[in-house]
Amino acid sequence: MIGVVVPTRNGGARFARCLDGLLRQRPAADALVVIDSGSSDGTVQAARRAGARVLAIAPEDFDHGETRNRAAAELPDADVLVFLVQDAVPLGEGCLAALAAAATRPGVAAATARQMPPPEAGPLTASTVEGSPMGASAPRLVGPFRREELAALPPERLRGLLLLDDVACAVRGALFRAAGGFPRTGHGEDALLAYDLLAAGWALAHEPAALVEHGHAYDSRSVADRYRLDAAFFRERFGCRVRGGPLATLKGFLAERRRDGRWAQAHAIDDRRAFRRASRHLRWAQVRAQRDGSRGPLGSAPEPRPLPGPQELRA
């Protein structure tokens, strides 16, 4: 059984496209649960027309981890739980099937879909999505690790191994329930669950055969808010400074600009000068925000929650 969970709030046209993408899936999902936190734009009605079971919570009760858990609790028999955000649009007819198959391969606990920029995305959004680990066109497997091996990794390396993104991911239902779901948190619930799964001896997969459209058109202010929060999360929860000082910040800026430059060379850009100028402003805001979020006391990796390993689940 495949159950799908989507948290919503005023999802608009993008959520309508998400629902259309879900309805095109073959085989179809066995159940869809939408948990809404105060929509006023017809999101709830659209979800019900698509056959979803809809739960309602107050906006102030939204939590990135616990809200998804409440919806997943409506699917106690799901072999695979698929988590989507409201603006992630499944592409083709086999997205869910490919994602579920990847998450249930021997020794694999969860899988993340490949993200593609939506057609309306601007050049910088497209460059960001296609250049991210979740935009990779090749399959990737992280793990398995022995628990002591994982604990010995430097925090900077560990950050790159937490290969789970609930923009569009699938998790074995039995493992998700054994973990008690996502941790309650305002950010990074998928990274925390990924750490628990790796510590239990499981592998995580990136599955490019499962495609979703997703991408945000950030400006300098919104990109700063996003990347500052992300850097603070990894500093506090895993002891990792994403940008540890002025030199690391400069290197990060130059690396991001080079990546944008490579993307521009591979695509038809109407105004390359404007693209370079926008890249310069946006990437500087990004790395400065990462530097700001990296300042402050270092935390340490959490104690992993106890979970059954592959041998215990015979997987």
Where in the chain are the domains? 2-216, 220-294
User: Taking residues 80-101, what's their average pLDDT?
Assistant: 98
Strand duo 140-142 + 203-213: pairing: antiparallel
Tell me what percent of the residues of the chain surpass a pLDDT of 90: 91
pLDDT at 315 over 70: no
pLDDT at 29 over 70: yes
User: Taking residues 53-79, what's their average pLDDT?
Assistant: 96
What's the CA gap between 207 and 203, in Å, rounded?
A: 13
pLDDT at 181 over 80: yes
Is residue 131 very low, low, confident or very high in pLDDT (cuts 50, 70, 90)? Answer: very high
pLDDT at 269 over 90: no
DSSP for 185-201, please give it. -SS-HHHHHHHHHHHTT
Q: Which two three-digit tokens encode residue 173?
A: 């239902």
Q: Confirm whether pTM is higher than 0.85.
A: yes
User: Taking residues 176-205, what's their average pLDDT?
Assistant: 96
Mean pLDDT of the chain: 95
pLDDT at 117 over 70: yes
Q: Which two three-digit tokens encode residue 151?
A: 């604990």
pLDDT at 113 over 90: yes
User: Taking residues 248-277, what's their average pLDDT?
Assistant: 94
1-28 pLDDT, tens digit each? 999 999 999 999 999 999 999 999 999 9
pLDDT at 272 over 70: yes
Q: Do residues 183 and 131 make contact, with C-beta atoms less than 8 angstroms apart?
A: no
User: Taking residues 57-71, what's their average pLDDT?
Assistant: 96
Q: Do residues 64 and 165 make contact, with C-beta atoms less than 8 angstroms apart?
A: no
Is residue 270 very low, low, confident or very high in pLDDT (cuts 50, 70, 90)? Answer: confident
Query: Would you state the pLDDT for residue 219?
Result: 85
Within 10 Å of residue 40's Cβ, how many Cβ atoms? 8
Query: Would you state the pLDDT for residue 49?
Result: 96
Query: Would you state the pLDDT for residue 268?
Result: 85
pLDDT at 159 over 80: yes
What's the CA gap between 100 and 170, in Å, rounded?
A: 6
pLDDT at 62 over 80: yes
Within 10 Å of residue 13's Cβ, how many Cβ atoms? 9
What's the CA gap between 198 and 218, in Å, rounded?
A: 32
CATH class of segment(s) 2-216: alpha beta
User: Taking residues 281-305, what's their average pLDDT?
Assistant: 95
Is residue 230 very low, low, confident or very high in pLDDT (cuts 50, 70, 90)? Answer: very high
